[in-house]
Amino acid sequence: MAKMGEEQVKVLSLWVSPFSMRVLIGLEEKGVRYEYQEENLDPKSELLLQMNPIHKTVPVLIHNGKPVNESLIILEYIDEAWPTSNPLMPSNPYDRAVVRFWADFLNKKFFEDAFYGILKTEGEALEEGKRYMLKYLGYLEGELSARRGKPYFGGEQFGYLDIAFIPYACWFHSFETFGKWKIPWESEFPRLQQWMKKCMQRESVKKILPDPLKVLEYATPFRKNFVTSE
Amino acid sequence: MAKMGKGEEQVKVLSLWVSPFGMRVLIGLEEKGVRYEYQEENLDPKSELLLQMNPIHKTVPVLIHNGKPVNESLIILEYIDEAWPTSNPLMPSNPYDRAVVRFWADFLNKKFFEDAFYGILKTEGEALEEGKRFMLKYLRYLEGELSARRGKPYFGGEQFGYLDIAFIPYACWFHSFETFGKWKIPWESEFPRLQQWMKKCMQRESVKKILPDPLKVLEYAIPFRKNFVTSE
């Protein structure tokens, strides 16, 4: 195992992927030096296929040659492999279960029903995607309000669940464009709006999140693979 | 919140006896020696308690610990390990090993359950054949993962743990997969390590207690399958 000064950390990533952003923000928060490798995914690189043969997806964290896959698993790995700085997970078992539940919710429901539910659809399916988005943002607003005035999903500390969700912040402009709507932040999700502002002040988030306009530039042709009427 | 005095802990599990996800939680609690109350959930209709404790997904299993719910079987397993840390660790201690078992447990939920489990249970014809192919492909991955343990008996290495618990519930379902698929899974020729592993797991008190009889599982699965496969 390499000595601390000889650690090699590499991330295979796609700049616009919320999953990739999670990993990079996590590493930045921990102050870990890493090498970034952009993956086109078409074709997939030899290294990606070797490091993630089962899913063939990004992000992949390669730590001293050993791969870790799946963004949420990588976040917990980052927290455990670099335990002395800036804990990402709450310490209490129940709080840990709660943030894991909501991060899993983001992957299981939010990503399919709301994110892809708007990005890849039109007509009635798009309207349904928008309804899911509002419903799920409502859940998350409620979860944040349960923190009783503390600024983050992690409570006082920016952590795992904040990192899991904040990458969507640069995608909302695209969701609003494709859905031809404005998400009612001030009237319906004021805590989420505040939370996003606060997260966007963090160095890690400022560094990693791309410009929403650039995300829209990427998303527009991507959408055309699924929505032929535009 | 109830006092933490061990004598006053209340642990309740809402579950469905035939659900592999439910079995994971119960095996975890048994391994830890935690006393719990079991409540069977029909799911049709869903009980008030279930809807209150898991309003987002409305699924079982749910662990209710001193009145507070924990949902999602793998999350519950890690919670069990952390809430009762002094006995029988379920997770490896090394961060990389933890990432590996989490990856494979996530694979079971994300791929195995949809493509192989439901891929056989809910299908017929060509879709069923595809489900069988996925089953073989994924069992191969798991056989490979077990062989990477270099002779150690469990996915957890020397110790029966999180990934063993995540996978062993499927053992009582293989009879149903073979019945519906009209085939025999080639354990001895293709998955000898998995076969050995299952035998070893089935010797554990927790697994013997919690896993139902495969014949009873089949009895449950047959009418369930009829909701999806009308030609049989």
Chain A's closest residue to B83, CA to CA, is A93
pLDDT tens digits for range B3-42: 445 557 899 999 999 999 999 999 999 999 999 999 999 8
Cβ A104–B72 below 8 Å, yes or no? yes
Give the model's pLDDT for residue A4.
54
Give the model's pLDDT for residue A46.
93
Q: What is the DSSP string of chain A?
A: ---GGG--EEEEE-TT-HHHHHHHHHHHHHT---EEEE---SSPPHHHHHH-TTT--S-EEEETTEEEESHHHHHHHHHHHSTTSS--S-SSHHHHHHHHHHHHHIIIIIIIIIIHHHHT--HHHHHHHHHHHHHHHHHHHHHHHTTTT-SBTTBTS--HHHHHHGGGGGTHHHHHHHHTS---HHHH-HHHHHHHHHHHTSHHHHHHSPPHHHHHHHHHHHHHTT-TT-
Joined tokens for residue A136:
């799920």
Cβ B82–A96 below 8 Å, yes or no? yes
Give the model's pLDDT for residue A229.
82
CA-based R_g, chain B, Å = 18
- In chain B, CATH 1.20.1050.10 covers 95-227
How far is B81 from B24, CA to CA, in rounded Å? 13
Cβ B99–A139 below 8 Å, yes or no? no
pLDDT above 90 coverage of chain B, percent: 91
User: What DSSP designation does B117 have?
Assistant: I
Give the model's pLDDT for residue A151.
94
How far is B230 from B195, CA to CA, in rounded Å? 33
CATH topology of domain B11-83: Glutaredoxin (3.40.30)
Q: Which long-range contacts (CB under 8 A, 24 or more apart) does B181-184 make?
A: B181/B120, B181/B128, B181/B131, B181/B132, B181/B135, B183/B132
pLDDT tens digits for range A159-212: 999 999 999 999 999 999 999 999 999 999 999 999 999 999 999 999 999 999
The one-letter code for the residue type at A57 is T
CATH topology of domain A93-227: Glutathione S-transferase Yfyf (Class Pi); Chain A, domain 2 (1.20.1050)
Question: How far apart, in Å, do the first and last CA atoms of chain B sit?
Answer: 52
The one-letter code for the residue type at A94 is Y
Give the H or E element holding residue B114.
Answer: none
CATH topology of domain A9-81: Glutaredoxin (3.40.30)
Enumerate the β-bridge partners of residue B63. Answer: B13, B70
Chain B's closest residue to A68, CA to CA, is B99
CB A9 within 8 A of CB A62: yes
- In chain A, CATH 1.20.1050.10 covers 93-227
Q: Hey, of A1, A30, A51, A54, which one would you mutate to test binding to chain B, going by the most B CBs within 10 A of its CB? A: A54
| ipTM, 2 dp | 0.95
Cβ A77–B98 below 8 Å, yes or no? yes
How far is B142 from B148, CA to CA, in rounded Å? 10
Chain B's closest residue to A69, CA to CA, is B103
Which residues of chain B neighbour A74 with C-beta distances below 8 Å?
99
Cis peptide before A43 (omega within 30 of 0): yes
pLDDT tens digits for range B108-144: 999 999 999 999 999 999 999 999 999 999 999 999 9
b/e string for A173-186 if b means 16 or more Cβ within 10 A? bbbbebbeeebebe
B95-227: CATH number: 1.20.1050.10
Distances B214 to B18, B31, B225 between C-alpha atoms, Å: 10, 22, 16
- In chain A, CATH 3.40.30.10 covers 9-81
- In chain B, CATH 3.40.30.10 covers 11-83
Q: How confident is the model at residue A5 (pLDDT cuts 50, 70, 90)?
A: low
Give the model's pLDDT for residue B185.
98
Cβ A68–B96 below 8 Å, yes or no? yes
Joined tokens for residue A48:
């990606």
Cβ B99–A73 below 8 Å, yes or no? yes
Question: How far apart, in Å, do the first and last CA atoms of chain A sit?
Answer: 53
Find the chain A residues whose C-beta atoms sit closer than 8 A to any C-beta of B.
Answer: 54, 63, 66, 68-70, 73-74, 76-77, 80-81, 93-94, 96-97, 100-101, 104-105, 109, 139
Calculate mean pLDDT across residues A22-30.
98
Which residues of chain B neighbour A101 with C-beta distances below 8 Å?
70-72, 75
Neighbour order of strands in the sheet with B62-65: B37-40, B11-15, B62-65, B68-71
Give the model's pLDDT for residue B3.
44
CB B167 within 8 A of CB B142: yes
Q: How confident is the model at residue A40 (pLDDT cuts 50, 70, 90)?
A: confident
Chain A's closest residue to B98, CA to CA, is A77
